Structure 1
């Protein structure tokens, strides 16, 4: 905020100097002083969003121009697999692939290095795989739970990869990649995402019992809670109706320990909590139902995952298709 005040002071001196254009960028337009946005100051705003498919392809062409890339590498395929990547992410992706290529003493970047670089950019450095044991089998059931619930839930993104190779803080990972660019997300898709996120805990619960559930679903539960709260308080997707009960305003000053003031009563707050619990409970029951009904194929997938440590999405769907006929229809919420 002191930087903004300094900008205002300095810009006063530009009035008599024609031909000077001031350009600034920020990730927090919500904290800008309104005086900065008056005509004569920063009176034009350009929103720079994440690149779309064609944008990613163009960025990849720029950053691959000075690198040795094998002829079989398709930049179009890479662009399809990287929704949500910024320009810096794509540059980092190709740099990581180049480093891996040199480390393997290859002449040119191949899709193997690209795939490994995508995993590294998304999830972090590769860790040491677990030795076969109870912990590894439990993680395998957790990840297969995510993958099979996502695959058999209507509206969910398709599985890209399931792996037991640790990356960053995660002991195992399941990737989902959308078929197309997603601007708007439907109610069905949100319910599907919540159900898929709960698939890991549901698998632990059904397979090993309530006493053996682990802390592995901690991040999943945080995301589930955030998604379901937004459905109730921002998107009008609950029985509370078409009312925005919360906004995105955040404290401007670092270290601000004040409590955000609620714009609704305690009675409404209790109803919000009730709606959130109802959404999460129903999605969790749907996830457990999928796990129970598809136990044979889950056991086969877990054995295969422990053996290979990674199952690609196409192979995963091919195995699931042999044992199932249609995706589960989302049940109506009983709120």
Structure 2
């Protein structure tokens, strides 16, 4: 308040003082005032203690001696004015201004002795106004804060009252913008879910035959295959009230809240039946009860128990269909999966070739594709891609097209987008040097063995352009879609793949010597060891015979525990397993060394071409190899296939 007062004085009083001085330019000294008072020249003094100035009015016949001349002797005498007359009635030329000090006792005494009218006339005190305004401002701020706190406390009280309420998003008529025509690649799942839509829209034809509407449908599949998209399509097709929420929204830190939300959700659903309840990622609340070390979570288990009761308990909930999605069906409680709760389990798997083609056609509707782009060829190049991967592929291709300032998406952008998604974005090529030549021999070793072995996959491309993630180059095969989809890996295919994995290490040893071997084959060796262990312990493809020696995985849905399971075979058998794995790995390395050694001249020729062009496609690579040695015809794999993606790329991070 003191600061405000001082500022107010500086802003308000100073102009007043300046105004007074401008209107009364004739200033009188304090000593001269005392002399004039003793001489009887002063008529009136008005003292302003706020500004510490005095307004002195002189008699008409007694002007200040230092500012005016003496009156003429021949001038007619004038009457003495009334001492109590108003200053306004006095000639303004007889008014002077004197700056005074804070205390002036002699001035008051002298005025009383000489009959001078002395009056105190303070100017209005603006400090009071400023203080009042400042106080009002502070009070206003305090009241505003109090109102905000009251509003928040009221909101918290309302939130506490609604703590157990369901947080499901509700739509009376679901307008998701998605119908079954927008979902492709999962035709089997669409057919099963189409019956659910028919149940909701035309239930009489099923009720007439005694059929009951299914209570629950569980969508199971890997991430990105379109489970949530299917739920949106069901809501868009059925045109019934639609509740949607995530499994994690049921669970809170307070015990009982999740169960209360389940009850509230089903209560609202029954009031709006027939309707659909969609629970995404139901494994967050539907895990097996009592699983894992230390027991289960009380809140999650109570929520699950309430969900089980609501789906199939004493109360009837006809007309309410629960659709749930998860990519972890192995962790769900068995009581949740029994008939009467989730009557149907619809598998939404990775799309096949025809499925990928349909998905690409859906996502290419709003893309400016060049006329030379064949979605059929793109679908053949992308085995193992999910629906989300294919959507991302076309989006990345569109981004690359815009970056390159092209009008239409061409096959070059799609090819670069595939490499960007599966391997990484390309970096600046390496300068010529020993490192670049070593990477070239390493990748050519992979590509050459991939080309000359009969059961190996077809080569797509080999490059020494580095990629993000520490990849100096890669040799990418065209995967055999039949093998990948069916999972039927022959012993010959596995063995040729293991030899191909050792092609980079073999090229380094043969060309540069064992002392110049680098850690670039680290990833290849890891894949080789895993394949060899699977062949020995699970596939029965070793001298140990058809024995399952790695079949003691824990059945707990929580995964592996912190305690290592005890093997179900003897220590001598463990030694034999290690010997078999090492023998397989060594045989594959020796075979790779033999192929590289027998084709040393071809290796040098391929490396020179690769160093010059930095990237070779499979067709050109096979033409060069065919001039030196026979190239086997890969049965079931057309040579004209364009590049494709493989889940585990054999490229080594040099």
Q: Which residue of 1 aligns with 2:542?
A: 238
Q: Is 2:459 the counterpart of 1:177?
A: no
Q: Is 2:324 the counterpart of 1:24?
A: yes
1:78 CA displacement: 0.7
Which 5+ residue runs of structure 1 have no aligned equivalent? 329-335
Which residue, out of 562, 567, 576, partners 1:262?
A: 567
* Contact 2:308 2:335 survives alignment (8 Å): no
1:20 CA displacement: 2.2
Equivalent pairs counted in the alignment come to 328
* Contact 1:30 1:249 survives alignment (8 Å): no
For 1:8 and 1:134, the matched residues in 2 are separated by 66
Please give the secondary structure, in 2, of the residue aligned with 1:323.
coil
1:95 CA displacement: 0.5
Q: Which residue of 2 aligns with 1:331?
A: none
- Answer with 1 or 2: which has the greater Rg: 2
Q: Is 2:516 the counterpart of 1:212?
A: yes
For 2:560 and 2:386, the matched residues in 1 are separated by 29
Which 5+ residue runs of structure 2 have no aligned equivalent? 1-282, 287-300, 634-654
Q: Residues 271 and 319 from structure 1, CA distance in 2 versus in 1: closer, same or farther, beyond 3 angstroms?
A: same
Q: Which residue of 2 aligns with 1:3?
A: 285
* Comparing 71-80 and 27-36, the one that deviates more: 27-36
Q: Which residue of 1 aligns with 2:309?
A: 12
Higher relative contact order (CA 8 A, sep 6+): 1
Q: Which residue of 2 aligns with 1:121?
A: 421
1:249 CA displacement: 4.9
* Contact 2:425 2:467 survives alignment (8 Å): yes
What does 1:55-74 correspond to in 2, within 5 Å?
55-74=355-374
Q: Which residue of 1 aligns with 2:455?
A: 155
Which residue, out of 165, 168, 171, partners 2:468?
A: 168
For 2:425 and 2:329, the matched residues in 1 are separated by 33
Please give the secondary structure, in 1, of the residue aligned with 2:527.
helix
Q: Which residue of 2 aligns with 1:277?
A: 582
- When you count strand as a share of all residues, which structure comes out higher? 2
Please give the secondary structure, in 1, of the residue aligned with 2:587.
helix
1:180 CA displacement: 4.1
Q: Residues 277 and 218 from structure 1, CA distance in 2 versus in 1: closer, same or farther, beyond 3 angstroms?
A: same
Q: Which residue of 2 aligns with 1:106?
A: 406
Q: Which residue of 2 aligns with 1:33?
A: 333
For 2:334 and 2:556, the matched residues in 1 are separated by 16
What is the aligned-residue RMSD (CA, Å)? 2.0
Q: Which residue of 2 aligns with 1:191?
A: 495
1:21 CA displacement: 2.4
1:245 CA displacement: 1.8
TM-score between the two structures when normalised by the length of structure 2: 0.48
TM-score between the two structures when normalised by the length of structure 1: 0.92
Q: Is 2:131 the counterpart of 1:131?
A: no
For 1:121 and 1:270, the matched residues in 2 are separated by 41
Q: Residues 249 and 126 from structure 1, CA distance in 2 versus in 1: closer, same or farther, beyond 3 angstroms?
A: farther
- When you count helix as a share of all residues, which structure comes out higher? 1
1:203 CA displacement: 0.6
Q: Residues 32 and 261 from structure 1, CA distance in 2 versus in 1: closer, same or farther, beyond 3 angstroms?
A: farther
Q: Which residue of 1 aligns with 2:50?
A: none
